[in-house]
Amino acid sequence: MTLTTAGAGAEHHPPRDHPPYRSSRLRHPKRPLVPLRDPEAVELSGPAFGVTDVAALDSDLTRQHPGEPLGERITVSGRVVDRRGRPVRGQLVELWQANASGRYAHQLDRHPAPLDPNFTGFGRCLTDDGGAYSFTTIKPGAYPWHNHTNAWRPAHLHFSLFGTAFAQRLVTQMYFPGDPLFPYDPILRSVSDESARQRLVCAYDHDLSVPEWSLGHRWDIVLDGPSATFFQEGDAR
């Protein structure tokens, strides 16, 4: 196994130093990360979540207010697995996003697009025994930001995931297929490898569409990093 540095971060993940994304300039370590190969490390275990951590409607972002939110209703489903393809069971998936106009329900979002009184844009669920998750929400709008002239983020959902180990933690963003803003977005393009970038883009899935209700999108998530069994199974060469 090759060791990676703060700058290289392996080919799958973005380097933390990515000058086109201006906010990264002062917020990335310049010294190499220190590799930790300790089978006793606490980070090989991780937090657990269960039925008390989610409420019944948390996975439906369109039913958190009295009325229907504006926008195109979508179903987003997929599986969370580890690098061996094993399902990540009973773990927390969190999602947050802008509304259909591209505005976050956050006081610091000053984009002059309308807030939607029927949409907050936050959901959570637990993965099932097969590692599957599912959300009902609306398709978010693109929004401008200050990174460069005409900087617009392609429509995206923010995702937060827990594996079986703290070392498998992942926060990422899911994009929608065919977005014309892809070539201009330094955050998506911080992932240098084209096939890795494609793994951040969901697929329209006609079978996931709910008749007269929502358009289906599939997005599978693969968590990187070791878990408690990693060193016992001969991976730690």
Partner 1 sequence: MPAPTPSQTVGPFYGYALPFPRGGDVAPAGHPDTITLHGYVFDGEGQPVPDALIETWQPGPDGSRAGVPGSLRRDPATGRALGRDGVAFTGFGRVATDADGHWAVRTLPPGGVSYVSLAVFARGLLHHLYTRAYLVDEPGDALLGSLDAAGRATLVARGEAPRTYRFDIHLQGADETVFLEFPQGPA
Distance, CA of 227 to CA of 86 (rounded, Å): 12
Does 1 help bind partner 1 (rule: CB under 8 A)? yes
Residue 57 vs 210, nearer CB to partner 1: 57
Residue 104 a catalytic site member: yes
- Residue 17 in contact with residue 190, Cβ under 8 Å? no
* Residue 9 Cβ vs partner 1, minimum distance, rounded to whole Å: 6
Active-site residue, selected from the candidate residues 18, 79, 103, 153 = 153
Distance, CA of 75 to CA of 62 (rounded, Å): 11
Does 41 help bind partner 1 (rule: CB under 8 A)? yes
Residue 169 a catalytic site member: no
Query: Which residue in 141, 14, 126, 111 sits closest to 59, CA to CA?
Result: 126
* Residue 151 Cβ vs partner 1, minimum distance, rounded to whole Å: 13
Question: What is the Cα Rg of the chain in Å?
Answer: 19
Range 139-198, binding partner 1 (CB under 8 A): 158, 160, 166-167, 169-173, 187-188, 190-191, 195-197
* Residue 168 Cβ vs partner 1, minimum distance, rounded to whole Å: 8
Distance, CA of 110 to CA of 132 (rounded, Å): 35
Query: Which residue in 118, 94, 121 sits closest to 109, CA to CA?
Result: 121
Q: Which of 7, 19, 47, 213 binds partner 1 (CB under 8 A)?
A: 47
Q: Beta-carbon neighbour count of residue 218 at 10 Å?
A: 15
Active-site residue, selected from the candidate residues 73, 158, 189, 197 = 158
* Residues taking part in catalysis: 104, 143, 153, 156, 158
